Structure 1
Amino acid sequence: MKKKLSAIGLLVGLLVLAACGKAEEADQGSSTEVLPLDVELTVTEQAEIGETVTMEAVVTYGDEKVEDADKVVFEVWEEGKKEDSIMIDAVNEKDGSYTAETTFDHDGLFHIQSHVDAKQLHSMPVKKVTIGHGASAEETHEEGHDDDHGEGHEEGHGAHEHGHTDGFALHFVNPENSTTTAGTELMTHLQIDGKPLEQADVRYEISSEVLGDKHLWVDASETVAGEYTATHTFEKAGSYVVKIHVKNDDGLHEHEEYTVEVK
């Protein structure tokens, strides 16, 4: 009788182990693979003053067209004037493409960058648009020296204006409703050649008239690939300049400035 019970117990144990093995295989088979978010940005690269410039972002996740992106906007700015950029909401064409149009009222070299949030990922390719005769040689020369000063002693001298590194893209998520009563999250997305720029050294330099000559430095941490965040508590209300400094071991050194309003 004991032998019979032992045999039954052994059989039950084997059945339980087999069931666990199948359940584990099922779990492994159902694991979600993280696929790349690809955005193909197409713009009118040459146009005249007042002529319509079309913008289209085709969004795919793996082999699947993304018809329900969380957010798609086009950022437009003139060469050397990123701080004056404008955002244009895209129209969802319901086939994986997102479109918009704009016009320009003077000659110059302009940049158009699509910002796409989908599948908990962010992509931001950029293209150039020449309007009329484009930028003059004198303007291009001045823009190349526009931001060589004001780096601060900790960062050294001679840093160049953003955009000199081919394929580099930066998107700062300007915080809304910043107050002195709570910490403000500073978040920046970085890409190089359409892929997340990882393991970069990112610092936020904060200055303002309310701080006088004082400059504050806040180190950012890479929370996910290509996303760098930090939390800072502004002690006084006012308008602040947040300059984002980006460096890495490959010699990249870029920076961009943004204005943050604190109440």
Structure 2
Amino acid sequence: MMIRRKMVFLLSVVTILGLGGCSSGSHGQSHMNSADLSMVAIKVELHWNPDEVSVNQKVTFEAAVTQDDQPVDDAKEVKFEIVNKADATQNLELNGKSAGNGLYKAEGVLKLEGLYTVTSHVTARTQHSMPSKELTVQP
């Protein structure tokens, strides 16, 4: 009988603590930005400059990030993954930096000619997007 009472008491304490942990803070306000909760998906447009790339040429990779047609300047992470399709060991990973107005950029140099897959990994507002495009590097 004593064990049963202890179990009921323990279960009650755990339940009360669990419900208390679900509180959203003072005055019932959430700490998340309302933009974080939007059900509209983020959109990422991936491009690079120059359009036609040659071996050992500096390339600027760009990701234009929007949500509901508005620029997203608070992305948590923007990375560019560039992988040679013929030899996956020939790859490059670059961290994008905000250039303002929802645009994130990174520069890199590709040392071998061939066909590459460029994938941008964007984490913003509780969402992740990773569009890919093919890039041909000329000799």
Amino acid of the structure 2 residue aligned with 1:60: T
Matched, 1:126 2:138: no
Q: Distance in 2 between matches of 1:64 and 1:51?
A: 33
SS of residue matched to 1:93: strand
Matched, 1:76 2:74: no
RMSD: 2.0
Q: Distance in 2 between matches of 1:83 and 1:123?
A: 24
- Contact kept, 8 Å, 2:86 with 2:115, in 1: the verdict is no
> Alignment identity in percent?
32
Shift of 1:89: 0.5
SS of residue matched to 1:100: strand
Q: Given the alignment, which residue of 9, 34, 45 partners 1:40?
A: 45
Cα 1:120–1:33 shift into 2, 3 Å: closer
- Contact kept, 8 Å, 2:96 with 2:104, in 1: the verdict is yes
Q: Given the alignment, which residue of 102, 105, 121 partners 1:99?
A: 105
Which shifted more, 70-79 or 42-51? 42-51
Q: Given the alignment, which residue of 55, 61, 67 partners 2:67?
A: 61
Shift of 1:109: 1.1
SS of residue matched to 1:67: coil
**Aligned 1:76-225 pairs, distance under 5 A:** 76-82=82-88, 85-133=91-139
Amino acid of the structure 2 residue aligned with 1:61: Q
- Contact kept, 8 Å, 1:43 with 1:127, in 2: the verdict is no
How many aligned positions are there?
103
Which shifted more, 62-71 or 77-86? 77-86
Matched, 1:52 2:61: no
- Contact kept, 8 Å, 1:68 with 1:94, in 2: the verdict is no
Which shifted more, 65-74 or 46-55? 46-55
Larger Rg: 1
> Structure 1, residues 120-160: CA drift from partner, whole Å, max 9, x if none?
11101111211115xxxxxxxxxxxxxxxxxxxxxxxxxxx
- Contact kept, 8 Å, 1:75 with 1:113, in 2: the verdict is yes
Identify which of structures 1 and 2 has the higher relative contact order when contacts are C-alpha pairs closer than 8 Å and 6+ apart: 2
Q: Distance in 1 between matches of 2:60 and 2:85?
A: 19
Shift of 1:84: 5.1
Q: Distance in 1 between matches of 2:41 and 2:86?
A: 31
- Using structure 2 for the length normalisation, give the TM-score: 0.66
Amino acid of the structure 2 residue aligned with 1:86: L
What are the ranges of 5 or more consecutive residues in structure 2 without an aligned counterpart? 1-33
